Structures are given as structure tokens and as C-alpha cells.
Amino acid sequence: MEQIEVKCFTELITAMTSFDYVKIFSNEIFTSGSTDNATRCVDIFILDDEALEGNQAFNVTLTTLDLDVMLGTDMTTITITDNDG
């Protein structure tokens, strides 16, 4: 069975890495044809602060070099709700 590599990483929009969330870059390996590993979870740590800065956002993106693989939703935006106001 073929091994398929999927990369997962974060990209800033208005939220800043190391201040608002912990940046991720990971590689996940899937085996083609297997349903046992069709889903993966990725932990993204949100960092709390005392700054009055409004809601902030960043993207989580999935990519693969395998042209035969359909990722479904390959990017989503995460919004961090300001809790300091």
C-alpha cells in the first residue's frame, strides 16, 4: 500500500504566533486504501493574555504533493475570541 504524506501548518492573519497561539507544522502519514487512519487530530494551543486586542484569526492549512489525493477542506480559519474586554 502507498504511503501518503499530508502537511499541516498554521498561517497568521491577525493573531500572532508565540503571543496568541503556538505555531504548528506537522507531517501526517496515511496508508492509501485504509479506513483505520482516515482521520487525524492536531492540537493547536491558544495562549491567553491580558491585552485588549479584539478577536484575532489564523489559518490552518493541509497540503499534499500527491495529485490523486482529495483533502476535502484544505484550509480553515480559526478565530480566537477576545476575553479581556
Residue 37 confidence (pLDDT):
63
User: By CB neighbour count within 10 A (0-12 exposed, 13-18 middle, 19+ buried), where does 58 fall?
Assistant: buried
- For residue 45, give the 3-state DSSP assignment: coil
pLDDT in tens, 1-60: 788 888 999 999 999 999 999 999 998 888 777 766 667 788 999 998 888 889 999 999
Give the class (CATH, top level) of 3-80: mainly beta
Residue 57 confidence (pLDDT):
97
User: ∠60-61-63 over CA atoms, to 5°?
Assistant: 160
Query: What pTM does this model have?
Result: 0.81
User: Is pLDDT above 80 for 81?
Assistant: yes
For the chain, counts of helices (H) and of strands (E): 0, 4
